[in-house]
Each structure stands twice: as structure tokens, then as C-alpha cells.
Amino acid sequence: MKDKPIVIIITLTAGLIACVCCILNHAGLLATLLTVLISLIVFLIIGQIVNSIFAKQNKEAEKRLKDEKQKLEEEALKERIKEEEENESKSKEESDSK
């Protein structure tokens, strides 16, 4: 899971912002703890959703890239076969003319 840091970054950033807001508003300890806990849980869920969207997009992009690569390889193989057939026909013509 190379996308896992996205969730962690989103969650910790939300926790930091919640802490700073509570400190600036001179909130009590219990209110600060509840605010930070709720914000961490909410943004953990948001981070998981964002992570799954990114993972889905990456899978689709990798699939498209793989399909395009396969098409290019098939085209190159067809061109190679065509060139070999042309070379064989030329060599046959040369041997027939001798």
C-alpha cells in the first residue's frame, strides 16, 4: 500500500489543526480531547475514501497503459512479419532471376 501515507497525512493534519484551534479558543481539556478525537476519526474516514479513489484511478491508468503497450507490441510484431515476408519475396525474385 504505497498510498497509505495519504491517509496518515490527512488525519494528522486535521488533528494538528483541531489542536491549534482548541488552544487558540482556550477550550478545556475534555473539549479539546473530544474535538481532536472526532476530527481524527472523521478525517481518517475521509482519507480512506480519498485513498480508495486514488487506488481506483491508478488501477485504471495502469490497465490503459498496459493495453496501449500491448497494442504497440502487436503492431511492431505485425510490421516485423510484413518486412520478413517482403524480404523473402525479394530473395525469391532474385534467386528466380539467376
**Who contacts 31 (Cβ-Cβ below 8 Å, separation ≥6)?**
22
Closest by alpha carbon to 50, among 9, 17, 15, 22? 9
Mean pLDDT of the chain: 86
CA torsion angle 23 26 28 31 (round to 10): -60
Task: Specify the residue for cell string 510490421.
Answer: 79
Threshold 0.85, pTM exceeds:
no
b vs e for 31-66, b when ≥16 Cβ sit within 10 Å of the residue's Cβ? ebeebbeebeeebbeebeeebeeeeeeeeeeeeeee
Residue 75 predicted with pLDDT over 60: yes
Residue 1 predicted with pLDDT over 70: no
